[in-house]
Amino acid sequence: MQHFHWVTARSKCTPEELFGKLRDRVKGDVQTAVRVTGRKIEFSPTSNELFHVARIKAGGNQTLAAVGFQLVGHQIVVIEQGGTSHAARAALQHGSCRLTDDDGRCFELWEFSRDALEDLFFG
């Protein structure tokens, strides 16, 4: 990586860019979860800065569990039912644009999605 242009790479590593990619990733994960679990799970984009995922009671409209994803300033915030939340920001790590939390942990998009949605899909 001798000729890696980190300034150019970092300029493209924005919260908005990662949020859009995360939205696409989560939408695909929801489609897969519906297919493999048979559960009624809905992806609801509210705006460019907010989307929700909800597990719905079979044969009804009652929400059993929900997770929200919101772009707030320079952070992507995950809001779980009951008010639990965690946030991550865009960071250039080892030449790749990834999400990093306040504890310094680095996440690929699939890992961030899994951490937010695993209980909703399989719990």
- Tell me, which fold does domain 6-122 have in CATH? Metal Transport, Frataxin; Chain A (3.30.920)
- Whole-model pTM: value is 0.91
What are the pLDDT digits (tens) for 88-123?
999 998 889 999 999 999 999 999 999 999 999 998
Summarize pLDDT for 19-55 with one digit per residue, the tens. Answer: 999 999 999 999 999 999 999 999 999 999 999 999 9
What are the contacts of 57-66 at 24+ separation with CB within 8 A? 65/119, 65/120, 65/123, 66/120
Q: Give the domain ranges of the chain.
A: 6-122
Asked if residue 33 lies in contact with residue 121, where contact means CB atoms within 8 angstroms, the answer is: yes
Structure-model confidence comparison of residues 61 and 40, the more confident one: 40
Residue type, 80: E
CA dist., res. 118 & res. 16, Å (int): 24
